Amino acid sequence: WSGSLNAPDATVSMTDTQWSMNGNSTAGNMKLNRTIVGFNGGTSPFTTLTTDNLDAVQSAFVMRTDLNKADKLVINKSATGHDNSIWVNFLKKPSNKDTLDIPLVSAPEATADNLFRASTRVVGFSDVTPILSVRKEDGKKEWVLDGYQVARNDGQGKAAATFMHISYNNFITEVNNLNKRM
């Protein structure tokens, strides 16, 4: 599904759904089960999803950041669930000197620390994992983007090498066939 939602008094339930959220959205209660919520922005650079109550199980939130601002998930009253992922799309590449302190999720202080975890994305030949910390202040709990880790993805490198080897062999075969015809 693609679009924004303005339903502050409604209960929204999604199972096995991909939501491409293209604007700020509000829902009174949200129940997500194996759902991917992609923050896409539409006409605004960053978007916010606000809900009073969130119950999320095995769901993923794909957020963007430009190293200063980011998409946000704001939960006002209660947040429950387990096995939820936060994927971060870096719109700008951080330098080694950049220290990030960007809140991505805000929830009530009673929310379990392990409600969200950072998920690794394959970018080119690397695995990029956001570094998240949980911070408590002013009766709220925030999942904050502190940086990211990059590791070489050997599987992607081997797949590329195999592809290149096949392409090279095909090229040599064609050259040999052309030489035989001449």
- Mean pLDDT within 138-160: 85
125, 157 Cβ separation under 8 angstroms: yes
Q: Dihedrals φ, ψ of 58, to 5°? A: 50, 45
Residue 71 has pLDDT above 70, yes or no: yes
Q: For residue range 35-49, list pLDDT tens digits in order.
A: 999 998 666 689 999
DSSP string, 86-145: EEEEESSPPPTT----EEEEEEETTS-GGGEEE--EEETTEEEEEEEEEEEETTEEEEEE
Tokens linked to 14: 């999604």
The whole-angstrom separation of Cα 168 and Cα 58 is 42
- Mean pLDDT within 75-88: 97
State whether residue 176 is helix, strand or coil: helix
At 176, is the pLDDT very low, low, confident or very high (cuts 50, 70, 90)? confident
- Strands 36-39 vs 18-21: parallel, antiparallel or unpaired: parallel
pLDDT of residue 40: 87
State whether residue 36 is helix, strand or coil: strand
The whole-angstrom separation of Cα 172 and Cα 164 is 12
Average per-residue pLDDT in the chain?
Answer: 89
Provide the residue ranges of all domains of the chain, joining segments of one domain with +.
Answer: 6-153
Query: What is the layout of strands, in order, in the sheet containing 116-118?
Result: 18-21, 36-39, 60-65, 84-90, 116-118
pLDDT of residue 104: 98
Chain center to CA of 5: 20
pLDDT of residue 164: 64
The whole-angstrom separation of Cα 172 and Cα 155 is 26
Q: For residue range 10-59, list pLDDT tens digits in order.
A: 999 999 999 999 999 999 999 999 999 999 866 668 999 999 999 999 99
**Which residues contact residue 178 at a Cβ distance below 8 angstroms, ignoring those fewer than 6 apart?**
none
Tokens linked to 8: 């502050």
- Mean pLDDT within 56-69: 94
At 163, is the pLDDT very low, low, confident or very high (cuts 50, 70, 90)? low
pLDDT of residue 152: 84
